Chains A and B, each alone.
Chain A
Amino acid sequence: MGKIVIKAENISKAYELGEFSTGTISRDLERWWAMMRGKEDPFLKIGEVNDRNKKTDSKLVWSLKDINFEVEEGSALGIIGRNGAGKSTLLKLLSRITSPTTGTIKGRGRIASLLEVGTGFHPELTGRENIFINGAILGMRKAEIKKRFDEIVDFAGVERYIDTPVKRYSSGMYVRLAFAVAAHLEAEILIVDEVLAVGDAEFQRKCMGKMGQVTKDNGRTVLFVSHNVESVKSLCDTAILLHNGRMHENTNLADAIKIYLQQNPENDRGHFVNPNPPVNLEVYFKQAYIKQKGVVTNALFNDAPIDVHCQLQCNIPMKVSLEVIVRDHNGLPLLFGPIGLTQQREHELEPGVHQMVIRLNPPYLAKGSYFLDLIVAETGKRIIDIHESCLGFEIESSFIAASGWSFEHNRGAGAMLLNAFSYFEDELPAVH
């Protein structure tokens, strides 16, 4: 057992929903009065869980609730969880950007947090000037920065441009410089957000290497937050899994990752319920969700078709076709799926509620988030009901068994099958 360097006891964080200021001066005063007398905040309700889909009476939501953990010296702790699980909040608390509502975090050792690289970079200043500013913001003394200056410049590989304003840097150079400063912090505890998702593949590898080296060689402690299971696996020894602001019971790394991958993020974006069903439309979507291999999930893999189960309300008998558009995380349309390409073009619907399945066979998709548009159209005439980006899913891993490797967005959003041949003049493969 190593020394404990961070100990979090019962930390919770409540956020207020809705309007902050208007009309709440009276409430502010009431709260202030309670605080002055050393009483608990009268507007905190205990026991509510952060579930974004359920509306509650209370205007406060617990973004984190009763988090307890310890971190040993020299270990790397991974913090994983779906979007909205409370990862960022936990990071903010640990890095003292905001204070917890209840509980304490005790620790020993200097702490440096990298929620982002390049904080405080000023575009007009040169690389050299920015290294100093950024280093100082991250907590380094001027003398320390001076001492490591050459190392930083060398790591970033920007010697030639060090006296050029950073606004003239390419985005890659900018990020490399920013990361280099961060990577050379002399802190015993390093808190890292998914900053590694930046830069080109080679630089990412370099960063990961640096992070590993930081824990293994220098005996420093790293807290690492990521969606990227692969990086967590390779970097961390232990992990905590957050779900709706609560911590999963103490688990080891492998278990935490397993649960994380199985976790059904249905209440996130995987389930669509038409918020205001139109009464006058001939046919419309009532709800929809995604299934893969018979399981309701939106954490998908590339090795099986994606089934979109939808419930349609039809008001008059008519012929319709169902279509989908797959969008990337920026909302850019990637793929269009008109049903007519593969099977009967139209479906004749009688008035009533219909359950239908749209089975997608997309090409291999890169790891990441995607959105689906659902469209019901009167064949060849007009769109009747369309829901843009109403369903979301994640490709958890883009590992392609046949090739033995996985590919990322920097290679493209989708992979296609190709064949390469060697040939001789007289036996050219037939080209059509």
Chain B
Amino acid sequence: MHESDKYWEIKPNTSLLDIKLKENYEYRDLLWLLVKRDFISFYKQTILGPIWFFIQPIFTVLIFSLIFGNVAGISTDGLPKPLFYLAGVVTWNYFSDCFIKTSSVFRDNAYIFGKVYFPRLIMPLSVVFSNLVKFGVQLLLLFAMMLFYGLKGGHFQITWYVLLFPVLVLLMACLGLGLGMVVSAMTTKYRDLAFLVTFGVPLLMYATTVVFPLSAAPERFHNLIKFNPMTPIIETFRMGFLGTGTFSWSMLGYTTFITVVILFLGVVTFNKVQKSFVDTV
């Protein structure tokens, strides 16, 4: 059991910033078990099993190559089309999965939350880590494709920016988590936001440089697209692994700033709501 349970006090209102990091840390085993549960239950009783992790990005990339690459003829910065789209899709998926799944965390777990106490933050964290596993698996697909195009002599190169990869993952996770927590906290009272997220996030993808490179976007839209904190992440990712994209430290700095603010907001609202949400759901 957990040390922090030694002396306890249950009070009506605690301060907004009392997020009990220590207590969360003590429940780390639960976090891993939940991640494992998500992973195992994902492919139980399916024929293809974990292969499903690959099917979704493969088909998305196929469709994108067909529609945006061939029909619409949008530039891919000289990269092989599947490689360009795959890099965008895999990273975007990680962010959007974190965001969407976190935003429904109260509704999805209302039943458990109503029966047992554990630090509620564990649930959104488990979402982020479960998706990290999925992200990792999908990255393998990207690497396999890079190898394939590398042997075929496709035009791409890995640059030093690849060292920023862990930072990018952290930023995506925190951004998705933060936004998701803000929304999840608000949907316990105002359900409308849930609808907004389900159709809004996929649309937001088109305001991010997933299906087009920033350089190919009309100049007047640049600021709008850069305003989206996901754009620098995807651009930097492509820059690191494929060698094309628009990278600037100020853009990445902007994203980091936004992410920190949103994560802070998310943790505070989430923490506020988790105390009494059982009464309203």
Contacts and interface: CB of A to CB of B under 8 A. Distances in A.
Interface in B24-52: 27, 29-30, 32-34, 36-37, 40-41, 44-45
Interface stretch (A45-53, A105-113, A316-324): A105-113
Contacts of A120: 112, 116
Contacts, number: 122
B281 to A, nearest CB: 9
14 contacts: A95-B117, A96-B10, A98-B276, A99-B11, A102-B12, A111-B8, A112-B1, A115-B115, A122-B37, A124-B40, A137-B116, A185-B1, A186-B1, A187-B5
A142 B33 contact: yes
Contact of B115 (A20, A28, A111, A116): A116
A15 B33 CA distance: 34
A125 B29 contact: no
A133 B114 CA distance: 17
Contact of A99 (B13, B32, B116, B118): B13
Contacts of B40: 124-125, 129
Contacts of A129: 36-37, 40
Contact of B30 (A104, A136, A165): A136
Contacts of B155: none
Interface in A252-269: none
Contacts of A141: 1-2, 29
Given A15-B279, A142-B33, A109 B6 contact: yes
Nearest to A104: B11
A201 interface: no
A144 B1 contact: yes
A187 B117 CA distance: 14
A132 B10 contact: no
Given A115-B115, A186-B1, A97 B29 contact: no
A113 B37 contact: no
Given A124-B41, A129-B37, A187 B9 contact: no
B195 interface: no
B116 A95 contact: yes
Interface in B123-143: none
Given A136-B27, A136-B30, A97 B12 contact: no
Interface of A: 15-16, 20-21, 25, 28, 35, 92-113, 115-116, 119-120, 122, 124-125, 129, 132-133, 136-142, 144, 165, 185-187
A205 to B, nearest CB: 25
Nearest to A12: B12
Contacts of B117: 95-97, 113
Contacts of B2: 110, 139, 141
Given A20-B280, A139-B2, A142-B33, A98 B275 contact: yes
Given A105-B9, A136-B30, A21 B190 contact: yes
Contacts of A185: 1
Given A144-B1, A165-B44, A133 B279 contact: no
B26 to A, nearest CB: 8
B116 A138 contact: yes
B9 A20 contact: no
Nearest to A38: B13
Given A99-B276, A119-B115, A132-B33, A124 B45 contact: yes
Contacts of B32: 142
B222 interface: no
The list of the 10 closest CB pairs from A to B, nearest first, reads A136-B30, A96-B117, A110-B5, A124-B44, A142-B29, A105-B10, A110-B1, A98-B278, A119-B115, A124-B41
B12 A139 contact: no
B3 to A, nearest CB: 9
Nearest to A101: B12
Contacts of A35: 13
B113 interface: yes
A136 B10 contact: no
Nearest to B14: A99
Given A35-B13, A122-B41, A20 B189 contact: yes
Nearest to B5: A110
A141 B1 CA distance: 6
Nearest to B192: A21
A367 to B, nearest CB: 26
Contacts of A100: 10-12
Nearest to B45: A124
A93 B41 CA distance: 32
B120 to A, nearest CB: 10
Contacts of A140: 1
A407 to B, nearest CB: 31
A35 B272 CA distance: 12
A93 B10 contact: yes
A16 B9 CA distance: 24
B160 interface: no
B7 interface: yes
Contacts of A133: 33-34, 37
Given A98-B279, A112-B1, A124-B44, A137 B8 contact: no
A99 B1 contact: no
B115 A125 contact: no
Contacts of B29: 136, 141-142
Nearest to B277: A98
